A and B are shown apart, each in its own frame.
Chain A
Amino acid sequence: MAITTVARPKPLRWWQKHRNRVMLIGLLFVLPALVNFMVFRYIPIIGSAWYSLWDYSLLGGFREFVGIDNYVRALTRDSSVLNGFLVTLSFVVLKVPLQVTLALLLAAFASQERRGMGVIRALIFIPVVTSFIVVAIVWGMLLNRDIGLANSILQTFGLPRQSFLTSQTNALPSIVAIALWKDVGYSVIILVAGLKGIPVMFYEAATIDGANSWQRFTRITIPLLRRALTFVIVTTTLFSFQVFIPIYALTSGGPGQATNVIVHYVYQQAFVYSDMGYASALSILLMAILFVVSAVQLRLLRRGDW
């Protein structure tokens, strides 16, 4: 009888081992998402850092390598950039405190367990789910100097007609009001959720200890609402820095440059003047600034552990 040699098992390649196979299959679940983030989130930033070093346009292509000149231009020669940042800053400084205060008051009101509060919450939230472009056009009509509803209401009460969006002084506050109307419901819902999470017994204990309503508000409500408040302040600030749609739809940055926020100015540079290289440089600058703003905000809000 022939002696059959026992075949020695070939050593397994590393991907043939069961543990590694499972790992590789696991990777397949996440890979499409990772590719998406690389192509549509990381590469755009790396790419635009590269584009920002060129005199680049869609039709003209890479015309000339200009190094950091686009950045120098933005920071020293182009007064519209400074104006854009200042207008954006005014918008943020006007809007964020107003939105947080209003949201806090509305949330305190709407978090009560009373009949009809569900309806109130729904009404406040409707602008949030309506598209901003529709909201902007509607308010453009409401605020029209000659035939807008807002002026009709003023006139009905015997007040003089106002120009809102076409006036140098009123345009930015009007945009702030519109954006507030649109966004406040979002903050309200988050704060209502936060308020409902505060145990009732805290208030009862404080009342027994003789705390008045203001003390209860500042010593219990605000500290225990801190997480929700932090979230609302940080996100509202970040989103407000990026305001674009109402400016695009209602004022195109005007009158003059009174409402030309930075994101709208970047849009103009990129898609109206097709100066893509410069627009890329501005995008990178804005990204850097927003990064610093959110880092500082988180640091400030985390400090002071009440």
Chain B
Amino acid sequence: MEKTSNVTAGLGFGPHARRDRASSFVRRWGGNALTVFLYAVIAFVFVTPMAWVFGNSFRSPASIFANLNPVSWKTFIPFDEFSLNNYLQALGVGDVARGLGFALDRALLISLVSSVVVVGLSLVFNSGAAYFFGRLRFPRKNLVLMYVLVTMMIPQQVVIVPLFLVVNQLGMINTFWALVVPWYASPFITFALAQFFADVPPELDEAATMDGANLFQILTNVIIPNSLTGLLTISLLEFQFIWNEFYWPLVAISSKELMPVQVAIATQFTDRDPQWGRVFAAMVLASLPVIILFMVLQKYFYQSAAMSGIKG
């Protein structure tokens, strides 16, 4: 049998990992030790930062710093002190917190509402567009397709200033509309949905047409019910994108009442704040919803990531 090193077994190019494991007792345990070691290193690198934030979000600053050095399990797990004070303060519960101007509760609400509204609008308008590109006949449809494709080549962060100037002309800067209106349609999502719609057998459309269904009824009664997985994937992607969006709301929203949570975090809770527990609590509140969503619906997140380079 071909001899491969344990290193390649660990890297697992193809089927060899499995074959090696069976080939000899020593090699098997050597290979597993390497796997476990790599496993531990990866877990350490990717988990430590957020674990530290989460554990210390229940502590007072004194307790955070007292347990910081030397580093041990106590640095991460708050056995000495466990209180929800930081969370209450971040959410602006109580006179002290209100006096200091913390109101993450409102920011969370703004983020939630704007993300949900964008997802809703985007499902409606991108489904329509995807239906057009995937199913309908139109003269010179290629030109329309080009028109949409070209927009995908425009880098998002680079056009923030131009976008700001246009939205400003429309009088939407510093209103809730600035957070949702520019994103109600997206070329990426249109094409992703078109892919999913393409998997619905065209015979179903034809049958529905025979039964007298119009185009709109075909979309809502045939195409959409048959691409629910795709729609869920897209919705997650869009929700995560809008929830985490930072640069655009940073420039488009200046009033505190309308700030979504990521901007509120950056402007009200920074690493310059000596009350680190409060900062940690705010960060947990801002990222936990999407992380939990990811844990529950991992499969769809992977699908949406693999599907395209969507960040805008």
Contact = CB atoms under 8 A, between A and B. Distances in A.
Interface of A: 22-23, 25-30, 32-34, 36-37, 39-45, 47-48, 51, 58, 105-106, 108-109, 111-114, 116, 118, 120-135, 137-142, 144, 147, 149, 152-153, 155-156, 181, 185-186, 189-190, 193, 198, 200, 202-204, 207, 210, 212-213, 216-217, 220-221, 231, 234-235, 238-239, 241-242, 244-245, 248-250, 263, 266-267, 270-271, 276, 279-280, 283, 286-287, 290-291, 294
A153 B71 contact: yes
Given A109-B11, A152-B75, A283-B161, A123 B46 contact: yes
Given A123-B47, A138-B283, 20 more contacts: A22-B215, A29-B136, A29-B215, A30-B132, A39-B170, A40-B163, A43-B166, A45-B162, A58-B168, A126-B46, A130-B244, A134-B287, A138-B52, A149-B49, A193-B306, A200-B14, A203-B14, A249-B266, A270-B161, A270-B164
A120 B46 CA distance: 9
Contacts of B279: 137, 141
A23 B138 contact: yes
21 contacts: A22-B137, A26-B138, A27-B132, A29-B129, A29-B136, A39-B170, A40-B163, A41-B187, A47-B166, A48-B159, A105-B11, A129-B294, A137-B283, A138-B53, A149-B49, A152-B69, A200-B14, A244-B157, A266-B158, A280-B161, A290-B155
A137 B12 contact: no
Nearest to A250: B271
Interface string B10-53: 11111111100000000000000001001100110111111011
Contacts of A221: 13-14
Given A36-B185, A138-B53, A181 B45 contact: yes
Given A41-B154, A129-B294, A138-B53, A33 B262 contact: no
Interface of B: 2, 4-5, 8, 10-18, 35, 38-39, 42-43, 45-50, 52-53, 65, 68-71, 75, 125-126, 128-129, 131-133, 136-139, 144, 147-148, 151, 153-170, 181-182, 184-185, 187, 190, 214-215, 219, 240, 243-244, 246-247, 250-251, 262-263, 265-266, 269-271, 276, 279, 283, 286-287, 290-291, 293-295, 298, 301-302, 305-306, 309, 311
A133 B262 contact: yes
A interface secondary structure, majority: helix
A121 to B, nearest CB: 8
Nearest 4 A-B pairs (CB), nearest first?
A203-B14, A44-B162, A48-B162, A131-B244
Contacts of A44: 159, 162-163, 165-166
A184 B147 CA distance: 32
Contacts of A220: 14
A216 B14 contact: yes
Given A37-B187, A124-B46, A141 B276 contact: yes
Contacts of A207: 2, 16
A162 B60 CA distance: 26
B272 to A, nearest CB: 9
B31 to A, nearest CB: 10
Nearest to A149: B52
B15 to A, nearest CB: 5
A261 to B, nearest CB: 10
A273 B215 CA distance: 52
A259 B243 CA distance: 27
A108 B250 CA distance: 38
Contacts of B283: 134, 137-138
